Amino acid sequence: MNIYTLEVFIITGPASKKFIKKNPVISRTLEILGDQTLVELHEIIFKTFNRFEEHLYEFQVGGKGPNDPKARRYGPGEANETIELAGDVAQTVMDALKLKKDESLYHLNNLG
């Protein structure tokens, strides 16, 4: 079974200028097993950053950045019928993503 080490960054969101000046980079390193789902990864990210407000979210793999139409998108099955999903976060495990070293995996939160 694979173990993935992910470096997770917060790149947008509500924060005061004072906080951003003091913390220009907000990141955590975490590990997740290959048989864990994207729902579990979402929960780990929330706990790691002490988040508590749940919102609609999705993961994107590939492409040149968030919302790249070439990215593979994974979300809750009923998230948005206009978005073609590559998989459901509850059914997709980390190993199924076939991530390459240094490939970006975007966790987009607060959709909708």
**Over the stretch 46-97, which tens digit does the pLDDT of each residue have?**
898 887 777 788 999 988 877 788 889 999 876 555 667 889 999 999 999 9
pLDDT surpasses 70 at 39? yes
Residue 20 inside a domain? The answer is: no
pLDDT band at 13 (very low <50, low <70, confident <90, very high): confident
The three-class DSSP label of residue 73 is strand
Residue 20 contacts by C-beta under 8 Å, 6 or more apart in sequence?
none
Residue 7 inside a domain? The answer is: no
- Could you tell me the residue range of the domain that residue 75 belongs to? 34-111
Residue 69 inside a domain? The answer is: yes
Query: How many domains does the structure of the chain reveal?
Result: 1
Structure tokens at 86: 């590559």
Residue 1 inside a domain? The answer is: no
Residue 12 inside a domain? The answer is: no
The residue type of 18 is: K
- The H or E element spanning position 87 is strand 87-88
Residue 23 inside a domain? The answer is: no
pLDDT band at 109 (very low <50, low <70, confident <90, very high): confident
Residue 24 inside a domain? The answer is: no
Which pTM value belongs to this model?
0.85
Q: What percent of the chain has pLDDT over 90?
A: 39
Residue 38 inside a domain? The answer is: yes
